[in-house]
Amino acid sequence: MKGLGEKSTAYFCYLIVNVWWYLSCLMGILFAGLLSYEFFGSSHPNSIFGLTLPIKSDLITLKNPEQYEYLSTGPAKGMIDFDYILQHTPYAYITWAIFIAIAIALFLLGLYQLRNLLKSATNNTIFTGENVRRLKIIALLVFLVEPLEWLAYYLTIHFLGPASEIIAHGIGEFKLEMPLIGSDWTFLIGGLLLYTLAAVFEKGNEMYQELKLTV
């Protein structure tokens, strides 16, 4: 049996991702349970869940007007309590719960693929067709982050826009941010890099198959 010092880097990465995977599963189950509890259970004004929305800077006022001499306000974010949304627009709550469930499921799928990829690396069977498929799935999920983020904003506008009483009584107007058109290309570049890695793995798999048939 190998000692701890002789274990490969892939093994330690696998251990970390494995723990992360199980914790994420647990968190996912807890999250689903809490969302259901919020919906079916009694009212809890101090909910731990909320919908974060950007607030225009001109809507923010400082407590002491004298502070304007040396302080300026920028855009801030406010959180609408999910319980409040549930009471005023239950349909919005259900849609958000479904959306969050899908987002968590996609995250878990990506993490599961990464876990299996590292597991195969510990078994010295890294260049396989299955791993190429796994990498492509992870790349696709990374690509999906930005559109999903955009969809989240769209849902916010669609469901909370007409619910003017929430906006008036709560945090005021909010403006739509378009992350897809913004300057954050991290996920797009990340996805492309993963696709490149998948192509490298594809070639590696081809070479490995050739090596296996070399006498």
Which residues contact another protein by CB under 8 A? 209-210, 213-215
Instruction: Give the nearest distance from C-beta 199 to another protein in angstroms.
Output: 21
Smaller CB separation from another protein, 6 or 210: 210
| Max CA distance (Å), the chain | 85
Smaller CB separation from another protein, 173 or 206: 206
Ramachandran assignment for 8, one of left (phi > 0), alpha (psi -120 to 50 degrees), beta (any other): beta
Instruction: Give the nearest distance from C-beta 127 to another protein in angstroms.
Output: 15
Cβ neighbourhood burial of 13 (10 Å; 0-12, 13-18, 19+): middle
Residue matched to tokens 């002789």: 6
Instruction: Give the nearest distance from C-beta 204 to another protein in angstroms.
Output: 15
Smaller CB separation from another protein, 165 or 206: 206
Instruction: Give the nearest distance from C-beta 208 to another protein in angstroms.
Output: 11
Classify each residue of 95-128 as buried b or exposed e, where b means 16 or more C-beta atoms within 10 Å of its C-beta.
ebbeebeebbeeeeebbbbbbbbbebbbeeebbb
Distance CA 212, CA 206 (A): 10
DSSP labels for 57-99?
A: GGG---SSGGGGGT-----EEEEEEHHHHHHH-HHHHHHHHHH
Instruction: Give the nearest distance from C-beta 206 to another protein in angstroms.
Output: 10
Smaller CB separation from another protein, 42 or 214: 214
Smaller CB separation from another protein, 63 or 212: 212
